[in-house]
Amino acid sequence: MKKLEADILKILEDDCRYTPAKIAVMLGKTEEEIESAMRSMEERGVIVKYTAIVNGERLSDETVQALIEVRVSPQKSSGFDAIAEEIYRFEEVKSCYLMSGGYDLAVFIEGKTLRDVARFVSERLSTLDDVLSTATHFILKKYKIEGTITDREDENRLRLSVQA
């Protein structure tokens, strides 16, 4: 990867609202150079999506989110890829990762209620042929998302000193 592309990605990962014009000023390049590099990264699949990090607790968001650990039986011809694709194509699935350790896939899902999540796991996910077992963990609170602290007041709060 070129240094220019790496510099652009670092800026966009910090805040995707920066325009090519602003990035050009920050890096001492022309707007056309930045646009060309960004377009190239988009076409190559390096940049997949520009997105915002949303703190649902501030919106009174009533959705339920869960991390599901999934153990699967890999297929001879495609390993974990085919079963992962079958799982990540479900609308409820927000993220899906191949993991090392005690389980194979980490699947993050979202539902409207606990019952919706439970139904997804029991009726759709665990019934797939190659799924051996699941363990569901409900997300209770998000303190930090993608490197960003969700409660900005916590950033400014001072810790009290403890003396023995």
Ranges 33-37, 56-60, 121-125: which has the least confidence:
56-60
36 and 61 in a common domain:
no
- The parent domain of residue 15 ranges over 3-43
61 and 117 in a common domain:
yes
Q: State the Cα–Cα distance between residues 16 and 52, nearest whole angstrom.
A: 8
- Please check whether residue 66 is in contact with residue 117, taking contact to mean a CB–CB distance below 8 angstroms: yes
pLDDT digits (tens, 9 = 90+) for 42-56: 999 999 989 887 777
Establish how many alpha carbons lie within 13 A of residue 96's alpha carbon, considering only the half-sphere containing its beta carbon. 19
Establish how many alpha carbons lie within 13 A of residue 111's alpha carbon, considering only the half-sphere containing its beta carbon. 15
70 and 110 in a common domain:
yes
The stretch 116-132 carries a mean pLDDT of: 96
- In this structure, the dihedral spanned by the alpha carbons of residues 118, 111, 136 and 77, taken in order and rounded to 10 degrees, is 100
The stretch 2-25 carries a mean pLDDT of: 93
- Please check whether residue 106 is in contact with residue 19, taking contact to mean a CB–CB distance below 8 angstroms: no
114 and 80 in a common domain:
yes
Domains identified in the chain, total number: 2
11 and 66 in a common domain:
no
**Has residue 124 got a pLDDT over 70?**
yes
60 and 135 in a common domain:
yes
